[in-house]
Each structure stands twice: as structure tokens, then as C-alpha cells.
Amino acid sequence: MRQLPRLKNLRAVIFDRDGTLNASGSEGNGGYVLEPAQLAYLPGVETVLKDLHERGILLFVFTQQNCVTKGLIDEQGVDALHDIMQTQIAPAAYKGFYFNTQACAGEDWSKPGPGMLNAILAAHPELNASNCLVVGDAVRDAESAAAAGLPFAFVASDQKDKTAEARKAELPFYDNLATLFDALDAPVPYAAYEVDKDSREMLLEAFPPRHPDVIAHHITHKYGATEADMPPMPAGVRVTGHHDNGAIQVLVVEVDGKRHQAAREDETPRYYHITLSIDREQGIAPKNSNDLLQAIAAEKGLSGMDNLPEPIQISVLPRLLLDET
């Protein structure tokens, strides 16, 4: 499952429309919203949208409107509904509305195809999987997001039948939009080995900090963790390498002879390390240490990470910490 971006990293949210932002249409209308009077935001949605808009996060809608192909409404009618939505949160709050028009029939614009999402990404090259989130109330919304390579969050709606489907598909699941964005705003717990005080002092003496922001605090074991993810006290922790790319100074670490926690096959391993010092002025964050070690491993292989003549033993304590950044 792809990790959801943090709220402060978000630049855009792409919402499914019916059942996510507004109530789906009545059964008499085949579940479609066909007239402005039928357009009603679900409880709490307007507050969340206003908040996101005020934070400068771009809002998009991608919506499957098979009512057009069925002749229940024409494209101008759908546009007219979206024009009204543009006035309800704040003037021009939405950056764009995308729906499967007749002209795009047969292409991948219909969900679960990625066409609508790819069109948004093409129009906004600054958006990517790390700063853009797709939100919907159906598994097909999630499939579109996966096909476009974007993270997805499921919100339960008035359609309870899809809720079971989403849980089965193990989608990141939230009762409503407010709980989703509260969760994205909350600090992320992570399981780590905290470096003990004496070991920290010894390391800072052996490797004087080269950058203004000195950290030398912990070895991350698992990001987005719970108590259940806490590792046992390790028998041996050794520093085997020291690297600096001009903005991050990092120590390579082995925990009980392992270089990283178990990683899924499709994931690049996140090597155990201690971020010693960084230069935040250069836009560097501690998480960028991963990128540095992965680059070294890719270029020189695993042994290329170990450049110390003798490994250095250190003492640590497993702890559940909170990422407030």
C-alpha cells in the first residue's frame, strides 16, 4: 500500500464527486445527479474543502458521468453543475473538473482507467505521487489512482455496500473527509532505535558535524508504526560507514547484522542509518538520508557503503517516536 502524503506536503487533492463530495442522486435518477437542486454536499465536506483551499492546496474533481452516454444529461448540463460547485466553497475554488465525455469514449478516461488523472498530471507537471492524493468512495476510484501511480484514500459515504469492498481491498480507509485530513495532519509514529547519550557523544567526537543542523539521534526501523511494530532490544549495533554529499552527513549502521528492515519485494530497502547533520537551508530534510544511501548502494553496491576501517559498536534503545516535521 502506498504511503499517503502528509498534509503539509500536499499540493493537490483529486476528488471523486458523487458519494465523496456530494450525495449520489436518487434511485429514480439511476443514482445520477442531473439538476442543480439535486446537488448536496455530504456533511462536513464544505468545511474540509474550504480549509484545503485556504491552505493553497489545489482541488480537482474526476467523475464518471455515464449519465451523459445514457442521454440523461448532456455535457453542457454536467458543466453547468460544475459551474455551480465553483461558487459554493469559494469563488473558483476548484482548479478543474474532469469527466468522461462522449469524445473520450473508448479511451481510458472511464474509471477504472487513469485517463482523467493523467490529464490532470499532464496539465500540472508539478504534481506527483508525493504531493498529490486521490480520494474516492469506490474501488474503481482506487484502481484509477493506482493506474496513474497516485496514492489513494477511501472515504466511507452513504454507500455502505462499497465500504466492505474497500476494506477487502485493504485501501487506506476513513469514515469521512474530516477524519482523513486530520490523520494526514497528525504526527506520524515511527519505530526507532534511539542512540544512547554516551554513544551519541562518542559519535559526534569521532565524526564532527559538518552541517548546521545536528541530529545524531536515532536509527529509524519502521515509519508509520504502532507498538506492534516495535523491534526487540538488539544484541549488537555497529556503525560501518560515513558519507557526506555536501548537504547530508550520514552514518551507515548494521542492526544485528542486518542492513535494513524487511522490505517488500517491490520496495527499495531503506538502509539503517543515523542522520548526523544536515543543512536545512539547502532544502534538506532527515528523510533525504535514505536517498543518499540508496544512491551509494546503487552506484557502488552494499560494500561501497562500508568505508570505515573498523566498525564502531554503539548502544541504542528501541522507542516509538513521533515525526512532527
Residues that bind Mg ion (CB under 5 A): 16, 18-19, 137-138
Query: Do the Cβ atoms of 260 and 194 come closer than 8 Å?
Result: no
Return the number of the residue (155 or 255) whose C-beta is nearest Mg ion.
155
Q: Could you tell me the smallest distance in angstroms from the CB atom of residue 16 to Mg ion? A: 4
State the pairing for strand pair 132-136/12-15: parallel
DSSP string, 180-236: HHHHHHSPEEEEEEEEPHHHHHHHHHHS---SSEE---EEEEEES--GGGPPPPPS-
> For 258, what's the count of Cα atoms within 13 Å in the CB-facing half-sphere?
13
> For 238, what's the count of Cα atoms within 13 Å in the CB-facing half-sphere?
15
Q: Could you tell me the smallest distance in angstroms from the CB atom of residue 17 to Mg ion? A: 7
Return the number of the residue (166 or 284) whose C-beta is nearest Mg ion.
166
Q: Could you tell me the smallest distance in angstroms from the CB atom of residue 84 to Mg ion? A: 18
Q: Could you tell me the smallest distance in angstroms from the CB atom of residue 154 to Mg ion? A: 10
Return the number of the residue (69 or 282) whose C-beta is nearest Mg ion.
69
Return the number of the residue (111 or 259) whose C-beta is nearest Mg ion.
111
Return the number of the residue (20 or 275) whose C-beta is nearest Mg ion.
20
Measured CA to CA, the distance from residue 274 to residue 257 in angstroms comes to 16
Q: Could you tell me the smallest distance in angstroms from the CB atom of residue 324 to Mg ion? A: 34
Run of H or E residues at 123: helix 115-123
Q: Could you tell me the smallest distance in angstroms from the CB atom of residue 157 to Mg ion? A: 7
Q: Could you tell me the smallest distance in angstroms from the CB atom of residue 98 to Mg ion? A: 14
- Using only C-alpha atoms, the chain has a radius of gyration, in whole angstroms, of 24
Which residues make Cβ contacts (< 8 Å) with residue 314, sequence separation at least 6?
Answer: 195, 196, 199, 202, 203, 237, 238, 239, 253
Q: Could you tell me the smallest distance in angstroms from the CB atom of residue 44 to Mg ion? A: 17
Query: Do the Cβ atoms of 325 and 285 come closer than 8 Å?
Result: yes
Which grid cell is 132?
Answer: 498529490
Return the number of the residue (31 or 311) whose C-beta is nearest Mg ion.
31
Short-list 134, 136, 135, 144, CA closest to 114: 144
Return the number of the residue (48 or 284) whose C-beta is nearest Mg ion.
48
The identity of residue 238, as a single letter, is R
227-266 burial, b if ≥16 CB within 10 A, otherwise e? Answer: eeeeeeebeebbbbbbbeeebbbbbbbbbeeebbbeeeee
* Cβ atoms within 10 Å, residue 62: 27
Return the number of the residue (17 or 200) whose C-beta is nearest Mg ion.
17
Return the number of the residue (45 or 293) whose C-beta is nearest Mg ion.
45
The identity of residue 146, as a single letter, is A
Q: Could you tell me the smallest distance in angstroms from the CB atom of residue 145 to Mg ion? A: 13
